């Protein structure tokens, strides 16, 4: 990793030097062997020199680099393009990439993009934009190879050669009838290894796994991941093929969903910008609502402490163990919720599995709680009572703390495991029921358990 950063810094120095000496032919030759993603990463450091360097790239490579840039950098380039340059870039883009760019751009830039796009491309973009956000239709592309069942392999190869250069992928070809109903599919490997006079309908695979245009895009991405597909056909309600979702788009979806879940689990409103490009006030707006809600909900903890103020006054040593109990409870709940949220996102757990999950967590909680309580009892007796010579740490006080540990871990794991499942059942994102929210609930429960055991064992 460090070596890659050093190479990147050296490359940037060379680029800056060539720009300063106006050695543009050498700069072009330097950029040609690089991958589009690497060039886009270099552009982030070039600031106002980006439009000039971008113009040095060949059309195909320029389009690939353009797709990899952030929306802000894309907007800057579009503003600097002449109408001819804009059309050249648009002509090289795949349809789904063009749709993504249109969705990110402000209205005035979108109008300019659509005005200079080919009529067929403009029509396809508008059709895809009609689909709701987060559904399969919004991320699909209509650039795929379709074949007829009556074609021979020779005819299929001719069609692939004729139409393939403009398609996003030719690895999988889809077989349709006159009404565009999906009949089957063929891999390019199957086509190449078949005889030229073989009929497509005889060699195609009719067991087709597809998705509907209105299916959730995360479900589509999970399907691609589950079956290791390179592309997934998207059909309408009448099983007519309308597009495909490719694996690169699925990876983008999964990355966005994971990022969104992480932000929700950290009590942050999801954002769509990189961290360093998100302004201070945007970050403030994303974090404050959750912090406000959690702060207000935490007042219940204060109310419980106030209610048991006399108990704390009678046995002051109890106060010193509250942070440990709350922290252990929060950590236990977070462990369970993280595992369950991941299982939900991967489709390993459903609402019907709630009782099985609860039963498993009950057993785990009992074992964890007993182990923690035993270790804590030894620590309180040896360290707090004997080594620190604290006479207020008695076996009865240790029993209160240790019993509370068992009860707190049990409650925390049950809450952490069940809340995400219940949240998904009623339509909420399970990630919302993550560490901050669960910790607040567990803090209140741990105090109630703590003082209940104190009342029973110490009589306070």
Looking at the DSSP assignment, which residues form a beta bridge with residue 311? none
Residues 399 and 361 in one domain: yes
Q: What is the pLDDT of residue 173?
A: 95
Q: What is the pLDDT of residue 277?
A: 64
Residues 304 and 453 in one domain: yes
Q: What is the pLDDT of residue 431?
A: 67
Distance separating alpha carbons of residues 240 and 236, to the nearest angstrom: 5
Residues 114 and 217 in one domain: no
Domain count within the chain: 3
- Alpha-carbon dihedral angle through residues 263, 300, 361, 423, given to the nearest 10 degrees: -50
Closest CA to 220 of 266, 184, 253: 253
Q: What is the pLDDT of residue 176?
A: 94
- The structure tokens listed for 447 are 């105090």
Q: Chain-centre distance of CA 299, in angstroms?
A: 33
Distance separating alpha carbons of residues 388 and 284, to the nearest angstrom: 45
Residues 31 and 118 in one domain: yes
Distance separating alpha carbons of residues 170 and 159, to the nearest angstrom: 11
| DSSP symbols for 76-96 | HHHHH--HHHHHHHHHHS-HH
Distance separating alpha carbons of residues 4 and 10, to the nearest angstrom: 10
**275, part of any domain:** no
- The structure tokens listed for 100 are 């993504």
Q: What is the pLDDT of residue 271?
A: 57
Residues 45 and 162 in one domain: no
Which residue spans within 64-188 are E strands per DSSP?
A: 146-148, 172-176, 182-187
**234, part of any domain:** yes
Return the sign of the alpha-carbon dihedral for residues 246, 247, 248, 253: positive
Chunked mean pLDDT (size 10), the chain, 460 residues: 70 85 86 87 80 86 85 83 82 81 78 80 80 87 92 94 89 93 94 94 94 90 87 92 90 76 56 64 71 70 78 83 89 86 80 92 94 94 89 91 94 89 80 68 87 87
* CATH code of the domain containing 188: 3.10.580.10
Distance separating alpha carbons of residues 344 and 237, to the nearest angstrom: 27
Distance separating alpha carbons of residues 207 and 306, to the nearest angstrom: 66
Q: What is the pLDDT of residue 185?
A: 94
The pairing of strands 241-246 and 231-235 is: antiparallel
**109, part of any domain:** yes
**412, part of any domain:** yes
pLDDT digits (tens, 9 = 90+) for 166-201: 888 899 999 999 999 999 999 999 999 999 999 999
Q: What is the pLDDT of residue 96?
A: 78
Q: What is the pLDDT of residue 266?
A: 53
pLDDT digits (tens, 9 = 90+) for 215-269: 989 889 888 888 888 899 999 988 999 999 998 888 888 777 766 666 555 555 5
Distance separating alpha carbons of residues 370 and 409, to the nearest angstrom: 9
- 224, 245 Cβ separation under 8 angstroms: yes
**320, part of any domain:** yes
Q: What is the pLDDT of residue 261?
A: 64
**253, part of any domain:** no
Closest CA to 171 of 188, 185, 147, 196: 188
Residues 103 and 207 in one domain: no
Residues 110 and 188 in one domain: no
pLDDT digits (tens, 9 = 90+) for 16-47: 888 888 888 888 888 888 888 888 888 878 77
Closest CA to 373 of 303, 310, 325, 436: 325
Closest CA to 460 of 311, 339, 325: 311
Q: What is the pLDDT of residue 195?
A: 93
Domain limits for position 79: 2-130
Q: What is the pLDDT of residue 275?
A: 59
- 349, 340 Cβ separation under 8 angstroms: yes
**352, part of any domain:** yes
- pTM here is 0.60
Residues 317 and 350 in one domain: yes
Residues 333 and 394 in one domain: yes
Residues 305 and 427 in one domain: yes
């Amino acid at each position: 990793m460090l070596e890659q950063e050093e190479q990147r810094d050296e490359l940037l120095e060379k680029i800056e030097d060539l720009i300063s000496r106006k050695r543009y032919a050498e700069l072009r030759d330097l950029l040609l062997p690089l991958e589009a993603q690497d060039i886009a990463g270099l552009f982030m450091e070039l600031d106002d020199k980006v439009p000039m360097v971008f113009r040095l790239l060949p059309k195909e490579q320029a389009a690939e680099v353009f797709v990899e840039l952030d929306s802000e950098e894309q907007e800057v380039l579009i503003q600097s393009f002449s109408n001819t340059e804009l059309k050249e870039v648009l002509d090289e883009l795949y349809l789904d990439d063009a749709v993504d760019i249109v969705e990110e751009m402000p209205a005035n830039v979108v109008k300019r993009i659509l005005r200079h796009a080919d009529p067929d491309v403009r029509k396809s973009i508008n059709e895809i934009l009609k689909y709701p956000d987060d559904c399969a239709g919004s991320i699909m592309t209509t650039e795929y190879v379709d074949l007829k069942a009556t074609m021979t392999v020779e005819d299929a190869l001719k069609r692939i050669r004729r139409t393939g250069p403009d398609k996003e992928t030719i690895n999988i070809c889809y077989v349709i009838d006159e009404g565009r109903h999906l009949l089957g599919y063929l891999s390019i490997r199957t086509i190449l290894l078949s005889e030229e006079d073989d009929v497509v309908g005889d060699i195609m695979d009719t067991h087709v796994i597809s998705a509907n245009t209105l299916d959730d895009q995360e479900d589509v991405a999970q399907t691609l991941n589950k079956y290791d597909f390179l592309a997934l056909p998207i059909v309408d309600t009448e099983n007519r093929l309308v597009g495909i979702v490719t694996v690169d788009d699925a990876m983008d979806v999964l990355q966005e969903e994971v990022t969104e879940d992480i932000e929700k689990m950290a009590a942050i409103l999801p954002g769509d910008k990189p961290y360093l490009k998100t302004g201070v006030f945007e970050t403030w707006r994303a974090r404050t609502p959750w912090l406000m809600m959690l702060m207000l909900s935490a007042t219940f903890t204060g109310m419980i402490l106030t209610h048991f103020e006399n108990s704390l006054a009678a046995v002051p040593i109890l106060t010193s163990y509250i942070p440990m109990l709350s922290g252990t409870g929060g950590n236990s709940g977070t462990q369970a919720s993280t595992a369950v949220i991941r299982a939900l996102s991967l489709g390993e757990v459903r609402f019907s599995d709630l009782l099985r999950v609860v039963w498993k967590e009950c057993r785990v909680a009992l074992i964890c709680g007993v182990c923690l309580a035993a270790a804590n009892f030894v620590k309180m007796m040896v360290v707090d009572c004997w080594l620190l010579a604290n006479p207020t740490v008695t076996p009865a006080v240790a029993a209160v703390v240790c019993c509370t540990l068992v009860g707190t871990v049990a409650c925390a794991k049950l809450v952490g495991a069940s809340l995400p499942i219940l949240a998904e059942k009623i339509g909420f994102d399970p990630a919302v029921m993550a560490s901050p929210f669960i910790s607040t609930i567990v803090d209140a429960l741990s105090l109630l358990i703590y003082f209940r055991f104190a009342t029973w064992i110490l009589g306070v």
